Structures are given as C-alpha cells and as structure tokens.
Amino acid sequence: MITSHQLAVGYNSNGDESVLLEDLNLHLREGELVCFMGPNGIGKSTLLRTLAGLQKPLRGELTGIENGKLSLVLTDRITATNMLVYDLVAYGRYPHLSWNISLREEDHRIIEEAIALTQIGHLKNKRLYQLSDGQMQLVMIARALAQQTPVMLLDEPTAHLDLNNRVEIMNLLRKLARQERKAILVCTHELDLALQTADWIWLATLNKKVVSGIPEDLVLNGAFDEVFQFKGFDLKTGKVEHEAHRNKPIRLIGKGYPYLWTKNALERCGYEVTADAETVIKIQTEQTTTWQLQDLTLNSVADLLVSLAKR
Amino acid sequence: MSESGFWTRGLFLGFLFCLLLVTDVAWGSISIPLGTVLSSLFSPESSTFSDIIWQFRLPKAITCILAGSALATGGLMMQSLFRNPLAGPDVLGLSSGASLAVAIVILIGQTAGVGSVLMGNWSVATAASLGGSIVLLIVIFISRFIKDNTSLLIIGLMISAATSSLVGILQFLSKAEDLQIFLIWSLGSVGSTHWGEVQVLAIITFIGLAIAFFLQKPLNAWLLGENYATNLGINTSRSRFWIVIATALLTGGVTAFCGPIAFVGLAVPHLVRLFIPTTNHKILLPFVMVTGASLLLFCDMVSNLAGGAQVLPLNAITSLIGAPLVISMVISNKQVRV
C-alpha cells in the first residue's frame, strides 16, 4: 500500500540539513499491523509525519500516499476538552463534508460503526475532560476509523497507559488490521506487546537505518539487542538477568506455574537454580501448594525464602 | 446537548435580544414610552420622540448590534485559531494600529493647526482603518514566513506593544485638551454614529460575518491543531489567511467607527460556551453574534442610565459588567475551556 524507495527523513532549516533516518526501503501492506520501534529521539515520529504528508521527505520516493488515504493518531493533545466524544469522532467525516459540515445519515452510521468497533458506546455523550488517558486514546482511534482510510498511522498510542489499557489497544489494532484489512503502523516502546502482536517490525537502528522483519527473526538475529543495548534484560528468555550472588545452588523439583514462580523468586533473591545441587526444594501440589525444604513444610514462597536465608 | 436544547436556548436568547433592543431605544436621558417606540418605528411621522428615535437612538442601537456581534465573532475566531482562551479580536495588533493612526490625527493634527479639518468622524474612521490595515498587512506579510500560530500570536502582541508605546510618546508630547479628545475616543463610543456611518459599518460587518460563517469547518478543525486539521483535508494556510482577514474586517470596522471597545470580544465567546456547552462553530457562531449584540446593547443602556445626564464611557461599562459576569460563571463551572 505504501512503499518507500531510498527515502531519507529529517529536518531542513535554511539549508542546514539534519538527516534522522535514510536509505529507507519499507513496505506497509494491507491487513498487517506493523510496530515501529527504536530508542527515543531516533526519528520515529519524523518518519511517521513524513509518511502522513505533514512534512516533506529530504530525499527518495514515497508511493501509495494520496489525499484522504491516511488517518492519524498523534501525540498532539486536544486542548478543546469541552468537546463531546461523539463530536470528536465525527471529525473523521470532515474530508467528506462540504463547508457547512452537515452530517448525512450515512455519516452518522459510519461514526456509530467506529464507536462500536472501539467499544466506546458508553462514552458517546461524555466530554473529553471526563475521560481517562486510555479512553481518550480509544476515542482518537475511533475518530481515525471514522475517516475510513485504508492506512492508519499511530504515534505511541499506548504511552502513559496502564498494562490493561495497553493490551486492549494493541489487541484492538490487530483486530482492525485483520478484520478491516487496514494497513496499520504503530510507533511504540512496548517491546513485549509488540513482539506478541505485530505482524511485522520496523526497527530504527543507531546508524540511521530501519531494519524490518517479523518479530521472532529480529529477536533471534540479535537486531533488538544491538539497537536497545539491553542492560540486564535477556530478550530471548524475556527476563531480567539476575546475578547468583549468594553462591548457593538449589535444586527445585515441581511443575507448572508454582515451579515457574518459585524459580523466579529464587533467582530474584540471588540463588542459582540447577539440576545438581545439595539443597533440594520439593513443591507439592495436592489440594494446596506446599514447599518442602528437607524436613520443613512451608506454606508460601515468602516463608520458603525466610527459611532459606536462615540456613 | 440535544438539538431541542439548542433551540430552546436560542429562542430565549433571541427574546432577550429583542427586549434589550427595544429598551435600549426607549431608555436614555429622555425616556420614551414603549408604545411610542413601537409606533414610531412602523409609522415614521415626524415628532420629537420619533426624531430622537430615528436620528439618534436607532443608529446607536444598530451600531451596538453590529459592533457587538463583530467583536464577539472576531474574538471567537482568534480563540479557536490560537486555541487560547485569552485571545481576543485585538491580539493581531489591529486596534493598536488604529489607535496609533487616530492618535497621530488627533494629537499631531491639532498641534499642526489642521485639527478642525481633521476632526470629523469620517477622518478619524479613515485614519483608524488605515492604521488597522497597515498592521494587518504587516501581520499577513510576516505570517508568510512563519509556520505556526503561536508565532503569529507573539507577533501580534509585539506589534501591539510597539504601537502602544508610540501612542504613549505622542500622548506625553501633546497638550492637555488634545489628550482629552484622544482619551475619549480610546474609551469607545457607539453614540456618535449617523446613518451614513452605520451603513458603512453594516457592510463591513456583514462581509466579515459572512466570511466567518463560511469558515465554520476550518474553525472546528483548528480546534484539533494544525496536524489533525491538515490530515482532515483542511488547507491550513489558506484558512488561516481568511480567518485573519475576517477578524481584521470585523475589528477594524468597529474600531474605526466606535473606537477600541474592550472586553466584548474576549468575554462573549466564554459566556456562550458556558451557556451552551459545545465546540461546534456551526452553533457557536450565531449564538456568539447575538450574545455580543445583546451584551453591547445592555452595556450601552447602563452607560446611558447610570450617569444621569452624563453618558459614561462604554469601555468602562463593558469591563465592569462583563468581568464579574465571566468570573461568576467561571467559578460556578470550575474551568474555562476553549
């Protein structure tokens, strides 16, 4: 749908050119959710603004961008907070309305559809100042949907939201890509969510390029590690690395979630969990979960940690 | 709010407006019975009352209506364009430019001995229009080089500051009696217009209001900011140009014939937004026009009645009535939003 050929983006003020990203050969296809990732200040928003036609590319070509083909959700704040939610969603119809902005039957139907897709029906008659940040983002997405464009570009739609809202919005975007066959590009810092929801990842690298691929390939070939230079986070296991500073190896016997979270607690507290160690902890999962440390039977992970520390 | 809610409040406002119009014509240093007001409006036979009404009261009332709706609409457009609740029709520096030109005519003209020739209403109006237009041209010229509205706002404020200080210097160098003439002009007045001037003001105001009415879509879109407006297919630089032109016509026309009337342009859009909570200019524009006209009619009545035989300066009244009104509405509604 959108293809870039040797595109360079950045700023040009009075002949003083600063290139942020260059040699970009990217594709945004219908029915796909693309997450655009990279450290702060690397030029993600600038590329998004260029794709949206809000600023001119420095060099290169962009094809597939025509008027009225794109809708946007930006980080710009809406200051007119007295506005009704319905009226804000109705803005999506503006490209199709004449000077006197009369909404036709058809427009009301499309607005209601967008409201239904984003499940904000209960907010319709609220004013913007009454909304939470998460609800506001859903309303902005509904407004973009009401534009009925084949392409949607979103700049950090999940910033400042709690986990539940972040998951809700990413799931919604994936649903829209699948069901409505839209091409959706999202700038985001949500690494874990992006890896689990994106069909495709664009990764802005430190040498002004953008690497693209499916999430799993970029994890395995180390592209993420190179860009983010993780400090104490192992992307391949998805866990924070712990130093086994207590120098006490422990053998843990058990299964399922109790095993997983007991291991988590032990590693977090500086124990090394290995298959061949003298200290043995057995997890019993009959009726209630108990932990057996030699002759002791403990009822919680906290008790287990206390007993371990005393030894 | 539902459609019917708008209609009810619209009807209420319309009724209030008609009431104010009739009472403004009836009341003054000589009170005219309401029945006589109505009968002389429809059968213009000459009598003392009908002369007062036709030669003095009616042009004054119509000037109030024109000036009130023009300033309020200008204020609304500036607040929406700049997304700033503190913006008014004078933020572009037009009134200051007009003041400077009038100050030059009155203060220097008098000293140079050509004062009597220049003192007519028309020459003051011409000077004010010229001053306002020059500032407008400067603003439009500069706005071609800047990208965002905040810069435009700052430039308007800077032009205001510079011209005000020039006016200050002129005042400092003038004689006391010239100073008083200028001071009276700068306090605003709707009482010195005759039918010829009312006609010109009406034409300018109608053009300005018509442009504003055709700008309802871009005005709404500007509320979301330039990026969203562009994405919604609004030609931002063209609509900004027309918003500036319309505001300039409305403010410039009023300043030329009535002097710089303060406060109406800033306060009325807020009053309307508190009265009918909407951000849609399709509804805001007509309400703002009628409310602006009503408020100025009311202020004119007060300025005629409160001082006995003396007519109090209009600017003092607009602020004295408007400020407590806005403060009380803001307190009861907690927050002012554009």
**Could you tell me if residue B120 is inside a domain?**
yes
- pLDDT value at position A304? 92
pLDDT value for B118: 47
Inter-chain CB pairs, A–B, below 8 Å: 79
Q: Which of A82, A94, A97 sits opposite B279 (nearest CB)?
A: A82
Please report which confidence band the pLDDT of residue A149 belongs to, taking 50, 70 and 90 as the band edges: very high
pLDDT for A50-95, tens place per residue?
A: 999 898 999 998 888 777 789 999 999 898 888 999 999 999 999 9
3-state SS, residue B262 = coil
Note whether B228 contacts A76, CB cutoff 8 Å: yes
Give the separation between CA B36 and CA A101, rounded to whole angstroms: 44
Per the domain annotation, does B338 fall within a domain? no
Q: Pairing between strand A296-298 and A200-204? A: unpaired
pLDDT, tens digit (0-9, with 9 covering 90-100), for A155-206 = 999 988 888 889 999 999 999 999 989 999 999 988 888 999 999 999 999 8
pLDDT number for residue A25: 93
pLDDT score for B121: 66
Task: List the single residue in B217, B279, B337 with the smallest CB-CB distance to A99.
Answer: B217
**Span A234-252, average pLDDT:** 83
- Chain center to CA of B1: 29
**Chain B residue closest to A70 (CA)?**
B231
CB contact under 8 A, B217 and A71: no
Q: Indicate whether B298 belongs to any domain.
A: yes
pLDDT score recorded for residue A142: 95
Q: Tokens representing B241?
A: 């140009």
**Which residue of chain B is at minimal alpha-carbon distance from A88?**
B224
Does the beta-carbon distance from B230 to A54 stay under 8 Å? yes
Domain A2-231 belongs to what topology? Answer: Rossmann fold (3.40.50)
Check which CATH number belongs to the domain holding B202 and give it. Answer: 1.10.3470.10
Q: What percent of chain A has pLDDT over 70?
A: 100
With a CB cutoff of 8 Å and minimum separation 6, the contacts of B22 are B34, B37, B38
- pLDDT, one tens digit per residue, over A212-226 is 999 999 988 888 888
Those residues of chain A whose CB sits closer than 8 Å to some CB in chain B are: 49, 52-54, 67-68, 70-72, 74, 76, 78-84, 87, 91-92, 94-95, 97-101, 127, 129, 147
Q: Where are the domains of chain A?
A: 2-231, 249-310
**pLDDT tens profile B261-282:** 878 998 999 989 888 889 999 9
Kindly give, in sequence order, each residue whose CB lies less than 8 Å from that of residue A305, ignoring residues fewer than 6 positions away: A265, A266, A269
Mean pLDDT by 10 residues, chain B (338 residues): 78 93 83 77 73 85 95 94 84 86 81 55 79 83 74 85 90 86 85 85 95 96 93 91 90 88 89 89 96 94 77 85 79 66
**Contact flag A82-B273 (C-beta cutoff 8 Å):** yes
Q: Which residues of B touch A71 (CB under 8 A)?
A: 231
What pairs with residue A283 in β-bridges? A291
Nearest chain A Cα to B333, which residue? A82
3-state SS, chain A, equals: CEEEEEEEEEEEECCEEEEEEEEECCEECCCCEEEEECCCCCCHHHHHHHHCCCCCCCEEEEECCCCCCEEEECCCCCCCCCCEHHHHHHHHHHHHCCCCCCCCHHHHHHHHHHHHHCCCHHHCCCEHHHCCHHHHHHHHHHHHHHCCCCEEEEECCCCCCCHHHHHHHHHHHHHHHHHCCCEEEEECCCHHHHHHHCCEEEEECCCCCEEEECHHHHHHCCHHHHHHCCCCEECCCCEECCCCCCCCEEEEECCHHHHHHHHHHHHHCCCEECCCCCEEEEEEEECEEEEEECCEEECCHHHHHHHHHHC
Nearest chain B residue to A76 by CA: give it: B225
| Tokens at A218, concatenated | 């970029």
Residue range A221-239: mean pLDDT, rounded: 83
Domain count, chain B: 1
User: Running DSSP on this structure, what letter comes out for residue B91?
Assistant: G
User: At a CB cut-off of 8 Å and minimum separation 6, what does B112 contact?
Assistant: none
Which residues on chain A are in Cβ contact (under 8 Å) with B277?
Answer: 82, 127
Would you state the torsion angle of the CA atoms of residues B42, B47, B48, B53, taken in this order, to the nearest 10 degrees? 20
- Which has more confidence, A236 or A127? A127
Q: Which has the closest alpha carbon to B91: B71, B67, B75?
A: B75
Distance (Å) from the alpha carbon of B115 to chain A's nearest alpha carbon: 48
State the nearest Cα–Cα gap between A48 and chain B, in angstroms: 12
Longest Cα–Cα distance in chain A? 82
- List phi, psi (to 5°) of A140: -65, -35
**Tokens 């209001």 -> residue:** B209
Q: Which of B279, B280, B335 to mutate to test the interface with A (most CBs of A within 10 A)?
A: B279
Q: Is the pLDDT of residue A302 over 70?
A: yes
**Which tops the pLDDT comparison, B336 or A110?**
A110
User: Which residues from A are below 8 Å from B233, CB to CB?
Assistant: 67-68, 94-95
Tell me, what's the pLDDT at A68? 79
- Inter-chain touch A87–B279, beta carbons under 8 Å: yes
Residues of A in contact with B221 (CB under 8 A): 91, 94
Q: Which domain holds residue B28?
A: 3-333
